[in-house]
Structure 1
Amino acid sequence: MKKFMTMTRQFRDDETGAAMVEYTVLLGIITVAVIATVILVGAWITGQWTTLQAALP
């Protein structure tokens, strides 16, 4: 019984799982931001390229 209580206390006090979840959420937010930035910059470059092509004879 003492071993079981020791294991439950260790499990309760272990915060590596919570930290892993926090880092995963943070990584997800950063990934979404990077993808959105790439899409927006790509659209801007496409617009600039189209304007340049239209200006050339």
Structure 2
Amino acid sequence: MKKLMTMTRQFRDDENGAAMVEYSILIGIITAATITFIVGVGWYVTDAWTTLCTALTGCLANKG
């Protein structure tokens, strides 16, 4: 247990630990932004595809 506490103090005092936390937060933000972008593009493509299919179905129904 004492060894664990010593390692925890060293990690706390080490500036590399702080940098690692900052990079982890940055990676999390980038990941969230990327997922949001992909979901947004997916909704846009789905809407465009639905609109196209509806328009083509309407055109085909009028010709038939």
Q: TM-score range by the shorter chain?
A: 0.7 to 0.9
Give 2:24's aligned amino acid: T
- Quote how far apart the aligned CAs of 1:27 are: 0.2
Distance 2:18 2:47 in 1: 44
> Looking at both structures, which has the greater relative contact order when contacts are Cα pairs under 8 Å and sequence separation is at least 6?
2
User: TM-score with structure 1 length normalisation?
Assistant: 0.75
Runs of 4+ in 1 over 6 A off after TM superposition: none
- Quote how far apart the aligned CAs of 1:29 are: 0.2
Question: Per residue, is there more helix in 1 or in 2?
Answer: 2
TM-align CA RMSD: 0.9
* Alignment size in residue pairs: 46
Q: Are 1:36 and 2:36 matched, yes or no?
A: yes
- Quote how far apart the aligned CAs of 1:16 are: 0.4
Distance 2:23 2:38 in 1: 22
Give 5+ residue unaligned stretches, structure 1: 1-10
The SS at the match of 1:49 is: helix
Give the equivalent residue in structure 2 for 1:22: 22
Give the equivalent residue in structure 1 for 2:47: 47
